[in-house]
Amino acid sequence: MVRPNLRQTIIIGIVIFILAFGGIALLSLSNINQLQQEVVLVERADDLRNLILEIRREEKNFFLYQDTSLFSVGKENLGQATAILGFLSEGFAGTDGEQRDVKLAQGIRDYASLLETISSASSEIGGNSPEARALRETGQRLVEHSRAIAEYEREYILRINQELRMTMIIFMAVVAVVVLALVVFVTKSILGPLREVQEATRQIVQGTFAPFAVKNAEDEIQQVCVALNSMVDELQKRQAQLVQAQKLSSIGTLASGIAHQLNNPLNNISTSVQILSEETAGRNDFADKMMDNITQETLRARDIVKGLLEFSRHKDFSPRLCNLKDILESAVRLASSQLGPRISVRIMVSDTAVLNLDRLRFQEAMLNLIINAGQAIGDDKGTIEIKTTPDGDHNILTISDTGTGIPPDALQRIFDPFFSTKDVGQGTGLGLYIVYGIIEEHRGSIRVESLPGKGTTFHIRLPLGQEGTA
């Protein structure tokens, strides 16, 4: 069974609270409306009782003083009583109220009939006649029934009031339960995990962090734990990459020192070869050829050492007009030891291509791109092609390889610092980040096109120099 996440739980709690509050509010409103109606019914019941008592007073006056107003006033009051009883009968609730209504209505009819009989023969009927006794008995029953109806309505009001109070008690109990559930939920599902996250941050600082065990990946708090796990894992990877970058920096410093130390032996070899060539020139063709080879290789080694020295120096950004082809050839020479004979590099750039560049920094960017291209080709035979095409007041430099290409999901991140598609230990993820920064320094832009298995092409857009074009 899938547990609801934090958002769903909060929504469910809100819905339950709204339904409970709304139900109790509707029930309370219904009780209040019913109470208001019953108050009106009690007032009309009191009016009915007063009318019947008024009829009984006229009845006593008739028998004591022979006051005949009973026949006119009494009939009028009986009519009003009948109308009020009709109004009350619409609001009676329950069998008991309906029975009282029927008895009172029958009593009014009986009283009206007796009153009609006495009215037609009032001079012949005395106070002790059967008709008079029946009238008094019927009138007494009317009083009792009217009093019973009034009492019934008052009791019904008390019951409604009791129900209203019970509803309020239930409402307060529901609110208390909801608040208690909310406190338990917040403590268990929010405050508890937040304390764990707080403790985890302290462990991260101390270096003793243990990854969270994620129980429900759909829960927002658990997602925070997942993010924290990922963050710590990424931090550990980047820490290792920074260590590797520091190692590379140290290697660069070491390479600079070695290059300085190699200059003297190379100069001695070059001088010795020149002296020996002068002494043996023309005596042995094979020896002359070997001397020429030694001279050429010595010059080649000197150029590589010179390139290492220039690459290891750090200077402020200082662009000037430079020959682009010379920079590219120098970068290829520096990368030749990593490319080997299996990879051919073709530089299709004009000898007169001049751009406003910081030579050392731009050479560093080209070196990174060439080495990356060689690593993408791997142990297979391949080609790295470098060429330029004009584009208005800019020059487009493209570096293409026949390597394995870049996965589509990595294309958007290859210029991010510490992002690398290489295996662990084979790259720091700083090369393309450095290239991106150097191209931006030159007021240019760089983009990449690649398909898995079909190679990669970097397009570098640079402003033209003030003199010459590609």
Per-residue pLDDT tens digits of the chain, which is 470 residues long: 455 666 777 777 788 778 877 877 787 777 777 777 777 777 877 887 888 888 778 777 777 777 677 777 777 877 887 887 777 776 665 555 566 677 777 878 877 777 777 777 655 566 667 777 887 788 788 788 778 777 877 787 788 778 778 878 887 887 788 788 878 877 877 777 777 777 777 777 776 767 767 666 666 667 777 777 777 777 777 676 666 556 656 666 666 677 667 777 877 887 887 887 777 777 777 777 788 888 877 876 776 666 566 555 656 778 999 999 999 999 998 888 788 788 999 999 999 999 999 998 899 899 989 988 998 898 889 999 999 999 888 999 999 999 999 888 888 888 877 667 665 444 544 668 888 989 999 999 999 999 888 899 999 999 986 443 33
Helix ranges, 344-414 (H): 359-377, 408-411
Beta bridge partner(s), residue 447: 459
State the pTM of this model.
0.43
- Residue in 390, 392, 318, 330 with CA at minimum distance from that of residue 356: 318
Please name the residues in contact with 362: beta carbons below 8 A apart, sequence gap of 6 or more. 322, 327, 438, 442
Neighbour count for residue 150 (Cβ, 10 Å): 20
- State the Cα–Cα distance between residues 73 and 125, nearest whole angstrom: 19
- Residue in 267, 266, 268, 274 with CA at minimum distance from that of residue 291: 274
E strand or H helix at 14 = helix 6-65
- State the Cα–Cα distance between residues 350 and 324, nearest whole angstrom: 8
- Residue in 96, 206, 107 with CA at minimum distance from that of residue 148: 96
- State the Cα–Cα distance between residues 339 and 227, nearest whole angstrom: 40
From residue 391, how far is each of 324, 348, 351, 380, 440 by CA, in Å?
Answer: 16, 16, 18, 34, 18
**Coil, helix or strand for 131?**
helix
- State the Cα–Cα distance between residues 391 and 464, nearest whole angstrom: 9
From residue 159, how far is each of 11, 26, 342 by CA, in Å?
Answer: 37, 18, 101
Beta bridge partner(s), residue 382: 343
Q: How many residues does the chain have?
A: 470
What are the tens digits of pLDDT across the range 66-76? Answer: 767 777 777 78
Give me the half-sphere count of Cα atoms (radius 13 Å) on the Cβ side of residue 261: 6
- Residue in 148, 136, 134 with CA at minimum distance from that of residue 104: 148
- State the Cα–Cα distance between residues 272 and 265, nearest whole angstrom: 10
Domains along the chain?
6-189 (1.20.1440.210), 236-314 (1.10.287), 317-470 (3.30.565.10)
Q: What is the pLDDT of residue 402?
A: 93
Q: What is the pLDDT of residue 167?
A: 77
Residue 165 CB-density burial (10 A; 0-12 exposed, 13-18 middle, 19+ buried): exposed
- Residue in 220, 218, 195, 199 with CA at minimum distance from that of residue 208: 199
Spatial contact of 48 and 4, defined as CB atoms under 8 Å apart: no
Residue 199 CB-density burial (10 A; 0-12 exposed, 13-18 middle, 19+ buried): exposed
